[in-house]
């Protein structure tokens, strides 16, 4: 399964905490786009697609949610509930995310600009593409 959990370095003292993300050995790609998601219904299921090339690091900035990942062979569920971790997902992974807490805010750092042509929205097409 092409995912990993990045454990960010936290700078913190009695004034609060800070994480800085820069393209270096700790971060896997040059960030070209950032988007964030909030105010999501608890049982909403978002995602439901794979990407042909895009790589993403997903950070749950507040609250919690679950990512269900599927590479066509194996499935994994990753529970995100801390801004100190990033879920790094490479291309060709079917992803769905759900089980949002009321206060959930998810930030996504992406390796490419938004490109609808990079999406695979059909699960059967996804399976065909990885078995090519």
* Rounded Cα gap, residues 127 and 118, in angstroms: 15
Q: How far is CA 36 from CA 40, 56, 60, 127, in A?
A: 11, 12, 9, 28
Secondary structure percentages of the chain, helix, strand, coil, to 5: 10, 45, 45
| Strand residues in 52-104 grouped as ranges (E) | 56-62, 65-70, 75-80, 85-89, 94-98
Shortest spacing between CB 48 and ligand TYD, in angstroms: 7
Least distance from C-beta 12 to ligand TYD, angstroms?
Answer: 30
26 or 125: CB nearest ligand TYD: 125
Residue 114 makes contact with ligand TYD by CB under 6 A: yes
Question: Which of 6, 19, 47, 83 contacts ligand TYD by CB under 6 A?
Answer: 47
Q: State which of positions 48-107 bind ligand TYD (CB under 6 A).
A: none
75-80 and 46-51 beta bridge pairing? unpaired
CB of 35 to ligand TYD, least distance (A): 5
User: Is 38 among the residues that bind ligand TYD (CB under 6 A)?
Assistant: no
Check if 49 is active-site: yes
Question: Which CB, 37 or 85, lies closer to ligand TYD?
Answer: 37
Active-site residue (options: 14, 49, 51, 53):
49
**Cα-based angle 112, 95, 67 (whole degrees, multiple of 5):** 110
Residues with catalytic function: 49
Binding site for ligand TYD (CB under 6 A): 33, 35, 37, 46-47, 114
């Amino acid at each position: 399964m092409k995912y990993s959990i990045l454990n960010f370095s936290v700078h913190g003292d009695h004034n609060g905490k800070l994480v800085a993300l820069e393209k270096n050995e700790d971060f896997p790609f040059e960030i070209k786009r950032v988007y964030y998601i909030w105010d999501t219904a608890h049982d909403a299921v978002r995602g439901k697609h794979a990407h042909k090339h895009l790589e993403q690091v997903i950070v749950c900035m507040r609250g919690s949610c679950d990512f269900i990942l599927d590479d066509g062979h194996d499935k994994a569920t990753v529970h995100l509930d801390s801004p100190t971790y990033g879920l790094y997902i490479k291309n060709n992974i079917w992803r769905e995310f759900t089980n949002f807490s009321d206060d959930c805010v998810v930030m996504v750092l992406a390796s490419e600009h938004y490109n609808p042509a990079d999406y695979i929205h059909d699960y059967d097409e996804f399976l065909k593409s990885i078995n090519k």
